[in-house]
Amino acid sequence: MSLLDPLLGVVQGLRRAGWAGVVAAAMLAACAVADPEPSGMQGGGAALGGHESLLGGPIEKPRPGAPGIGDPLFPLLGNGGYDVLHYELELRYATAAPTQPLDGTVRIFAQATQALSQLDLDFAGDSVGEVRIGDAAAAFVRDGDELVITPPQAIARGEVFLITVVHFVATPKVPSAQRFLGAPFFSTPDGSGWAGQPSNAHRVFPSNDHPSDKATFSFRIDVPEGTTAVASGVATGVETGGGRSIYSFEQRTPMATELAQVAVGAYTVVPRASSDTGVIVRDVIPTRLLAAFEPKLAIVTDQLNWLEARVGAYPFPTYGTFVVEASLGFALESQTLSLYQSSYFAGAQSTYDTLMVHELAHQWFGDSVAPARWADVWLNEGHATWYELTYRGGPDAAAFVNTMHALYARGDQYRDQYGPVASPPSGNPFLLFNSNVYGGGCLALFALRQQIGDAAFQQVERAWVSRFGGLSATTADFIALASEISQQDLTAFLTDWLYGTVTPPMPGHPEWTVNPLALAADDALAADPMALTVGEPALLRR
Ligand SMILES: [Zn+2]
């Protein structure tokens, strides 16, 4: 979502004043919502346009919100009819056992984008205790991954309302690379963590689980004294007493549900030098692995300085690395605290530093600017791959150009196998996070730079993260921005690169040719530049 400042004030006010403030809040919010977002996919997705003012408009007949937010790759992910402003999560871990379930309560401050007789949250955890709308009990049923809620009274369009889900329970799983992304709430020998991308945060907590509905978060994590808890955002305090500790965190910049991180266990928080611009850096490391990992991860501050010099101010107040001893099969850009499995750091620095840059780049590209629909995920992965490669030498370096040449040769095979860059064939994670989204997305950026020149390209990159920071944006937004800044109409050019089924000519490299589709499978594998470039286990996604 796009969090309008007045609404943030409303939310904070609600938290101070209690539910009595809601009527006033609803009136304010009705005014605040009168101007829909400029970008079509923001703000909860469904049906923001064309409504009447709450004040003086015709009475709208309440109807159920849609069970999905309208993402073709994930028809039931997210929900229609409201826009979440803020999540307040209270999470209790009864013991120090890594495998224990968590018992949570979530308060969701939301604003109706239609008159609602019923609404859904996404939730696929173990159980739900009760649901309230405001301070009244609400009927609910679980239907697959939907938590279908019937408020005691209809909710008016524009109204800000509070959904409370009490005593939801979720149990961690031991992750396995064979069950790719199968453990969004995972346990390790040392504790647990979260990995909700792309569509699994609702297996941990009830939510509107789609990156087009971003919201601010607060966390209160109740653990046995001696257990460490760290969540996305800034630490705001620890209260200890009676053998328990409650850790508080605030994520005041909007976050997609899939990017929430909650690390609980026998972890040590390692403070690092701040970045040149004052970003607070801390890492989260299993205590028994501290000696091995503390020195290895120290490069993160230099990487922050390096990337800020290229794309502009880091979008959050804090950053760091969270290492777990687990077989995840991927690294993940959870907001302000990137997640890695320990084995990725087994070799020399040159074997993992680019992976760290990749996840760091996502904090701008993917986290601060989130994809409005999952088909837009090349905007995350293409850019992260670009800066990962740039870390070894900029886009004019021979190694970079050679990689682009190899990707170009592979272009039609990728498109044939995985679909166009901005049109992955499925929400299946193997097909969504495919080599054409990563390598093909990076190649499309290379083509753009060839077309408009380095100075304009750098301006586009900086403008993208400054203009759309905190929002959810579309591929069309990117094409429009690149056209505006380069003062060229790039619609046809970028549409061919991003949606075409054949690889377009590369500006400046008329000699580059594309491999035929019929290349033998062995040759095709050997020629796969994504494998050649990153030299990683085949299943690693990042
Ligand atoms: Zn990535």
Residue 294 belongs to a domain: no
Q: pLDDT tens-digit profile of 65-104?
A: 999 999 999 999 999 999 999 999 999 999 999 999 999 9
Range of the domain at 22: 5-266
Tell me how far the alpha carbon of residue 249 lies from the centroid of ligand 1, in angstroms.
Answer: 25
Residue 528 belongs to a domain: yes
Tell me how far the alpha carbon of residue 150 lies from the centroid of ligand 1, in angstroms.
Answer: 38
| CA gap 143, 145 in Å, rounded | 6
| pLDDT tier, 59 (very low <50, low <70, confident <90, very high otherwise) | confident
Task: List CB contacts of 312: < 8 A, sequence separation 6 or more.
Answer: 364, 462, 465, 466
pTM for this entry: 0.90
One domain for residues 384 and 527:
yes
> Among 195, 237, 391, which Cα is nearest to 300's?
391
Tell me how far the alpha carbon of residue 541 lies from the centroid of ligand 1, in angstroms.
Answer: 7
Tell me how far the alpha carbon of residue 134 lies from the centroid of ligand 1, in angstroms.
Answer: 39
Tell me how far the alpha carbon of residue 516 lies from the centroid of ligand 1, in angstroms.
Answer: 28
| pLDDT tier, 178 (very low <50, low <70, confident <90, very high otherwise) | confident
For 166-191, what is the mean pLDDT? 93
- Are 274 and 241 within 8 A, CB to CB? no
Listed residues 231, 266, 301: the one ending a domain? 266
Task: Dump the DSSP string for 42-109.
Answer: -SSSTT-TTPPPTTTSPPPPPEEPPSS-SBTTBTTSS-SSEEEEEEEEEEE--SS-TTPPEEEEEEEE
In our burial notation (b when 16+ CB lie closer than 10 A, e otherwise), range 98-122 reads: beebbbbbbbbbbbbbbbbbbbbbb
Tell me how far the alpha carbon of residue 10 lies from the centroid of ligand 1, in angstroms.
Answer: 35
| pLDDT tier, 526 (very low <50, low <70, confident <90, very high otherwise) | low
- The tokens describing 295, both together, are 């020195």
Tell me how far the alpha carbon of residue 462 lies from the centroid of ligand 1, in angstroms.
Answer: 19
User: Residue 71 pairs with which residues in a beta bridge?
Assistant: 74
Q: Is the pLDDT score of 46 beyond 90? A: no
Q: Is the pLDDT score of 24 beyond 70? A: no
Tell me how far the alpha carbon of residue 136 lies from the centroid of ligand 1, in angstroms.
Answer: 42
| CA gap 415, 70 in Å, rounded | 25
Tell me how far the alpha carbon of residue 537 lies from the centroid of ligand 1, in angstroms.
Answer: 15
Q: Is the pLDDT score of 537 beyond 80? A: no
| CA gap 512, 194 in Å, rounded | 43
Tell me how far the alpha carbon of residue 542 lies from the centroid of ligand 1, in angstroms.
Answer: 4
Tell me how far the alpha carbon of residue 26 lies from the centroid of ligand 1, in angstroms.
Answer: 39
Q: pLDDT tens-digit profile of 482-517?
A: 999 999 999 999 999 999 999 999 999 999 999 998
Q: What is the spatial order of strands in the sheet that 228-231 belongs to? A: 185-187, 191-194, 262-265, 228-231
CATH number for 416? 1.10.390.10
Tell me how far the alpha carbon of residue 380 lies from the centroid of ligand 1, in angstroms.
Answer: 6
| CA gap 67, 145 in Å, rounded | 10
Listed residues 201, 235, 266: the one ending a domain? 266
Tell me how far the alpha carbon of residue 358 lies from the centroid of ligand 1, in angstroms.
Answer: 6
Tell me how far the alpha carbon of residue 384 lies from the centroid of ligand 1, in angstroms.
Answer: 6
Residue 9: predicted pLDDT: 46
Residue 474 belongs to a domain: yes
Q: pLDDT tens-digit profile of 248-262?
A: 999 999 999 999 999
Q: pLDDT tens-digit profile of 429-467?
A: 989 999 999 999 999 999 999 999 999 999 999 999 999
- Domains of the chain: total: 2
Encoded amino acid at 277, one letter: T
Q: For the ranges 28-32, 344-348, 387-391, which has the lowest average pLDDT?
A: 28-32
User: Phi/psi at 88 (nearest 5 deg)?
Assistant: -120, 110
Tell me how far the alpha carbon of residue 369 lies from the centroid of ligand 1, in angstroms.
Answer: 13
Tell me how far the alpha carbon of residue 437 lies from the centroid of ligand 1, in angstroms.
Answer: 10
Tell me how far the alpha carbon of residue 381 lies from the centroid of ligand 1, in angstroms.
Answer: 5
| CA gap 256, 428 in Å, rounded | 19
Tell me how far the alpha carbon of residue 360 lies from the centroid of ligand 1, in angstroms.
Answer: 9
Residue 251 belongs to a domain: yes
One domain for residues 176 and 65:
yes
Residue 503: predicted pLDDT: 98
For 342-348, what is the mean pLDDT? 95
Residue 459 belongs to a domain: yes
One domain for residues 55 and 194:
yes
Q: Is the pLDDT score of 13 beyond 70? A: no
DSSP category for residue 305: H
Helix (H) or strand (E) run with residue 477 in it: helix 475-486
Q: Is the dihedral of CA 77, 79, 83, 84 positive or negative?
A: negative
Residue 396 belongs to a domain: yes
Mode of pairing for the β-strands spanning 160-170 and 130-133: antiparallel
CATH number for 123? 2.60.40.1730
Residue 438 belongs to a domain: yes
One domain for residues 134 and 255:
yes
Between CA 58 and CA 68, with CA 64 as vertex, the angle to 5 degrees is: 120
One domain for residues 183 and 59:
yes
Tell me how far the alpha carbon of residue 379 lies from the centroid of ligand 1, in angstroms.
Answer: 10
Listed residues 266, 281, 313: the one ending a domain? 266
Residue 37: predicted pLDDT: 37
Task: List CB contacts of 223: < 8 A, sequence separation 6 or more.
Answer: 93, 96, 229, 244, 245, 246, 247, 264
Task: List CB contacts of 249: < 8 A, sequence separation 6 or more.
Answer: 217, 218, 219, 221, 230, 231, 232, 233, 234, 235, 236
In our burial notation (b when 16+ CB lie closer than 10 A, e otherwise), range 268-292 reads: eebebeebeeebbbbbbbbeebeee
| pLDDT tier, 527 (very low <50, low <70, confident <90, very high otherwise) | low
| CA gap 253, 234 in Å, rounded | 10
Considering all CA atoms of the chain, what is the largest pairwise distance in Å, rounded to the nearest integer?
72
Average pLDDT of the chain to the nearest whole number:
89
Tell me how far the alpha carbon of residue 25 lies from the centroid of ligand 1, in angstroms.
Answer: 39
Residue 112 belongs to a domain: yes
